[in-house]
Amino acid sequence: MSSVSVENLKKYYGSVHALDGLNLEVAPGTVFGFLGPNGAGKTTTLRILTGLARPTSGKANVAGIDILKDGHRLARSIGHLPEEPAFYTWMTPREFLDYLGRLYGLSTSERATRTRELLALVKLEEVSKRRIGGFSRGMRQRLGVAAALIHRPEVLFMDEPASALDPAGRKEMLELIENLHGQCTVVMSTHILADVERVCDVVGIIAKGKMVVQSPREELLQRYAVPAFEVNCDDHPALARWANELQKNAWVITVAIENGTARITVKDVLMAKRELLSQAVKAGLILNRYEEVRPSLEDVFLKLVGTESVA
């Protein structure tokens, strides 16, 4: 049985169709990455699946529970990490987790054991007696994960868990999500494609309120992979001029430049191998690196939904 099952889910706000027949299946124990452009319906979906909003029509089951019929059971079977989790800032992490344990009816011994386990999991043992009000954004996010897991939920919903974190905080959060494999099912909404590529087993891409594709990450990359090449050069102006000329070739799909590296996606790999280097030489480029690269999730996303921004 699926941990999350959505059938023909619709949500209308007047003439706006936030969800327009969404279908979704998430297998138990997986980390599911939920992607889509602005206004695609990701946030609306998470609000419905966590009981914070009701759909216009359709069916949805989470942890075997019909979300429209048993909201109380749903609340006890899921965990939810919002984009900005809220706390009683005068409490310590230990006090806060113990307080939540009481709300869920855990015994004194259960609360003590679970609090120790979770503080270790999110690496907050050393600051367990500090006031939450002095915590960094990354520490708050990790504590939010601990709070969402206090009652051992079957499904954990995470809304943009790493989007506002600095590089160190983001790394810690991604490692934490990786450690959740097998402990519960994770549904993670994010706009950071690299994060999904790193930690998610299955990827779902939504656009205009409908699921465009859902597939295991590696199958998705193989099925929709767009051949790509990278060229690195210290002469950035010359690289930019060459890139502009390169885009005139019919076999080139896109050329994007970042930090002196041009990433070229192509329609014809053989033509690219034949022409890329020769055209670079003709342009007078002195190359530091030239290679055919493994397609990324970003390449797949752009192929499926176009150039709409992710959010």
Contact 44, 34 (CB under 8 A): no
Q: What is the pLDDT of residue 37?
A: 81
- Residues with Cβ within 8 Å of residue 270, at least 6 apart in sequence: none
At residue 273's C-alpha, the angle toward residues 269 and 276, to 5°, is 115
Q: What is the pLDDT of residue 308?
A: 53
CATH number of 227-294: 3.30.70.790
Contact 143, 88 (CB under 8 A): no
* Rounded Cα gap, residues 114 and 119, in angstroms: 9
DSSP structural state of residue 27: -
Q: What is the pLDDT of residue 311?
A: 45
What's this model's pTM, rounded to 2 decimal places? 0.81
CA 12 to chain CA mean position, Å: 25
Contact 137, 164 (CB under 8 A): yes
* Rounded Cα gap, residues 165 and 162, in angstroms: 5
> For the chain, what are the domain ranges?
4-218, 227-294
In tens digits, the chain (311 residues) has pLDDT values of: 789 999 999 999 999 999 999 999 999 999 999 988 878 889 899 999 999 999 999 999 999 999 999 888 999 999 999 988 999 999 999 999 999 999 999 999 999 999 999 999 999 999 999 999 999 999 999 999 999 999 999 999 999 898 778 888 888 889 999 989 878 999 999 888 888 888 999 999 998 899 999 999 888 887 877 788 999 999 999 999 999 999 999 999 989 998 899 999 898 989 999 999 999 999 999 999 999 987 778 778 877 886 555 54
CATH number of 4-218: 3.40.50.300
Q: What is the pLDDT of residue 160?
A: 87
Task: Report the DSSP pairing between strands 261-266 and 252-258.
Answer: antiparallel
